[in-house]
Structure formats: structure tokens, C-alpha cells
Amino acid sequence: DGGITQSPKYLFRKEGQNVTLSCEQNLNHDAMYWYRQDPGQGLRLIYYSQIVNDFQKGDIAEGYSVSREKKESFPLTVTSAQKNPTAFYLCASSANRVTTGNTIYFGEGSWLTVV
């Protein structure tokens, strides 16, 4: 099946630890995105990448890092510098830029809880 796979679905982390969320897509999409969803705040863009080996900060990039070494993979690292990391994280991809008419497709998300 074609789609976006995020893992793990649920993750618990101790304060002070870094954690990496995986996102893989087999849709041959150029662009990939990471959003964070908090209750009552909608989705906020963390990082995005429109091409391999390139990525841009979104609205709330502080405390996060990404890499885009392969077209199909866009892992997100939540570092210990992120003050409020407990959230639902969504990975997404699109064929190319949204402004050319392409739709963003989302994965099923990863729940991160810091204990």
C-alpha cells in the first residue's frame, strides 16, 4: 500500500533525553513536513523539506532537528531543549509544492509523552 508510515505510534521519554520519530513515505513525493498538534491549537509546522538534503524551519522549530538524506525518509528529533515536547506529531508529504495544486497527505501520527 502506498502511504506515509510513522513510528513509533506511542513513545514515552524521560526528561532530558532526545528522541527520534521516524517518517517514511513510498509515494515518491518530493516534499515532506512535520507538524505538531496540541489540543485547542490546531497543527503547527515544525520543519519541512522540499527536496533531498534541504530543509527549512517552520513556525516552531526550536528544540527540534531533522534530516533529509533520502527522498522517502524525514526523521524528526525532539531534543532535550524542547520545553514542552509532549504532543501528537504528524508527518506529511506532497508531490511538490502545495502552491502548484498538490495536496498534502498525512501519516497516522506519533504520540510522544515526556515523563
Partner 1 sequence: AQSVSQHNHHVILSEAASLELGCNYSYGGTVNLFWYVQYPGQHLQLLLKYFSGDPLVKGIKGFEAEFIKSKFSFNLRKPSVQWSDTAEYFCAVLGAGGADFGNEKLTFGTGTRLTIIP
Number of residues that bind partner 1 (CB under 8 A): 29
Nearest residue (CB) to partner 1, 30 versus 80: 30
Task: Determine the Cα–Cα distance for residues 81 and 32; give it in Å rounded to an integer.
Answer: 23
SS3 82: coil
Is the bond into 75 cis (omega within 30 degrees of 0)? no
Within 48-87, the residues that bind partner 1 by CB under 8 A are 48, 50, 56, 58-59
Q: Please, which residue, 90 or 114, has the CB nearer to partner 1?
A: 90
* Rounded least distance, CB 3 to partner 1, Å: 9
The footprint of partner 1 (CB under 8 A) covers 4, 31, 33, 35, 40-45, 48, 50, 56, 58-59, 90, 92, 94, 97-99, 101, 103-109
